[in-house]
Structure 1
Amino acid sequence: MESLYIVMPAYNEEKNIKKVVKQWYAVLDGKAENSKLVIADSGSTDRTHEILTELQKEYPKIEILEDTEQYHGPKLIALYDYAIKNKCDYIFQTDSDGQTNPDEFAAFWNMRKEYSGVFGNRTVRGDGKDRAFVEKVVCFLLRMYFGVKVPDANAPFRLMKTDVVKKYLYKIPYNYNLPNIMLVTYYAYCGEKLFFHEISFQSRQAGINSINIPKIVKIGWKALGDFHSFRKEMKNEFKRKN
């Protein structure tokens, strides 16, 4: 039986976290005994951590990472690193805001042996036209900078073989803001077998999104310089596979 680590970052999600954890914890049924639901909660100023600690008493496969960086990207990197070091077979990443549907996980799990990574494709988005537009711009930039064509680079719904994530994660700085985008880019650029599967994506169920459009623009502007550096390193290190 194969092990699965479901990993999710959290920040001020007291209105969502209990429901989200209960829904995703059920996905661990039928997986190896050492499977975990791992949540990175560092920096929350509401009751998120208190709620998670209470949930741990009822759900023993919950692990809480408290000593990560505060922001979303570095939390993802810390979560992936934790899963790699604990030698699970598969990593599944989603967010803690209730925008993704656990019922759609089974289709991804059924494809796990065929692909190195199965990534969500948000063809219809409930989080607004602005964010959908930003994603289109990101995919355009990836095609321009790296020559890779992907329909959705940043969806928080992705199942990946741990040994493949390990190949690329440590090429990304520990405090980088956009690790999910770069992981997809590495997968595509280096010829890993990946698949994009359509998923639903709801509007935020409760609470306030900590990453608003001005922050996205600021992060995106910095990403242009980062993409240039990544492209240079990738060209030097990897032979392009077609």
Structure 2
Amino acid sequence: MLSIVIPCYNEEETISLFYKEVEKVRQQMNEIFEYIFVNDGSSDETLTILRKLAKEDPTQVRYISFSRNFGKEAGLYAGLKAAKGELITVMDVDLQDPPDLLPLMMKKIQKSDVDCVGTRRVNREGEPPIRSFFAKMFYKLINKIGDTEMVDGARDFRLMTRQMVDAVLELTEYNRFSKGIFSWVGFKTEYLEYENRERVAGTTSWSFWNLFNYSIDGIINFSDTPLNIASFVGAFSCVASGIALIFIIVRALLFGDPTSGWPSLISVVLFVGGLQLLCLGIIGKYIGKIFLETKKRPVYIVKETETTNPS
């Protein structure tokens, strides 16, 4: 059986379209599918549509509905935990992940020694240029400062063996970054390339600011380089201040102590103060992540499933 994990957040326009397209592929493959839709606290009619779909196809369709919006990472984690298949894939409901790749992915994972068949976009046509630029910069940066390699353009859309999914589920951390986790577990992965596809309906819930914060989380979760940078900046400022102090003392002994220089002094104070705040901000980010982990709060809370549907 192939389990398909589909996180949903305000996707009332795309769920039916997604189900129909994947069903076409399933009939061609003649395989048993398990749909696991995860409603991430949607405020539209997403849950109503999932209830209806589960009634129409009770043998294949399951859904999990959160008590509020916990984020896509929580949706992925919940879906993977609920999946029962020997093969599991993760897909976006907006059809930016092409369902017609599933037969080839299935063939590759069954006839080779790979544990995961992933997908990656060869271009970002249709995306705002600034988003594409920062996405490329993120992958270049994380691969230089982190120990876990992340493939540029790689999607969450991947077909994984049960062994790999079980390994992913062993990582129970609260602060999750799935792209990094999928790479960190270390199973053999091959990638299929495809042209970028736009959403079939609706609008994305990922703003530029959301993606920026998500990338910061990825860097913090998989690299301690920002802490090293903060230490280096602090040490450099200390040494530079010491040299400047010696220079000022020597100049005062040789040429006297002029009263001029207040603007430059204030500039230096503000500069050093800014560096200190920057370093404290970096350290604070890591401390905040530690704080959330030590609380041991659940990654998500389930309010309803197809078996607890009040109707």
Residue of structure 1 equivalent to 2:107: 110
Whose radius of gyration is greater, 1 or 2?
2
Residues 194, 68 of structure 1: alpha-carbon distance in 2 compared, 3 angstrom cutoff: farther
Residue of structure 2 equivalent to 1:194: 189
Q: What pairs up with 1:59-78 in 2 under 5 angstroms?
A: 59-60=57-58, 61-67=60-66, 70=69, 71-78=71-78
Q: Is the 8 A contact 2:116 2:161 kept in 1?
A: yes
Distance 2:148 2:75 in 1: 28
Distance 2:219 2:203 in 1: 27
Distance 1:50 1:108 in 2: 32
Q: Is the 8 A contact 2:2 2:88 kept in 1?
A: yes
- CA drift of 1:6 comes to 0.8
1:183 to 178, 181, 184: 181
Q: Deviations over 1:135-173 (max 9, x none)?
A: 3233223422115262434x1321111211211332252
Supply the AA of the counterpart residue of 1:220. Answer: S
Supply the AA of the counterpart residue of 1:111. Answer: K
Unpaired runs of 5+ in structure 1? 230-242
Q: Is the 8 A contact 1:112 1:118 kept in 2?
A: yes
1:222 to 198, 217, 233: 217
- CA drift of 1:219 comes to 2.1
Distance 1:50 1:221 in 2: 34
Q: Secondary structure at the match of 2:109?
A: coil
Supply the AA of the counterpart residue of 1:215. Answer: N
Residue of structure 1 equivalent to 2:287: none
- CA drift of 1:221 comes to 2.0
Residues 131, 117 of structure 1: alpha-carbon distance in 2 compared, 3 angstrom cutoff: farther
Residues 100, 150 of structure 1: alpha-carbon distance in 2 compared, 3 angstrom cutoff: closer
**1:79 pairs with 2:79:** yes
Distance 2:18 2:108 in 1: 24
Please state which structure has a larger fraction of its residues in helix: 2
Residue of structure 2 equivalent to 1:120: 119
Supply the AA of the counterpart residue of 1:107. Answer: L
Residue of structure 2 equivalent to 1:208: 203
Unpaired runs of 5+ in structure 2? 225-311
**1:100 pairs with 2:97:** yes
Supply the AA of the counterpart residue of 1:217. Answer: F
- CA drift of 1:49 comes to 1.1
Q: Deviations over 1:183-235 (max 9, x none)?
A: 33214xx3x22101112331222222111111111222233221226xxxxxx
Q: Deviations over 1:73-104 (max 9, x none)?
A: 11011111111xx3x21111110112222112
Distance 1:118 1:142 in 2: 22
Q: CA RMSD in A?
A: 2.3
Q: Is the 8 A contact 2:91 2:157 kept in 1?
A: yes
User: How many corresponding residue pairs?
Assistant: 217
TM-score, structure 2 length as denominator? 0.64
Q: Deviations over 1:79-138 (max 9, x none)?
A: 11111xx3x211111101122221122111110122101110100234413443343233
Which piece of structure 1 moves more, 90-99 or 121-130?
121-130
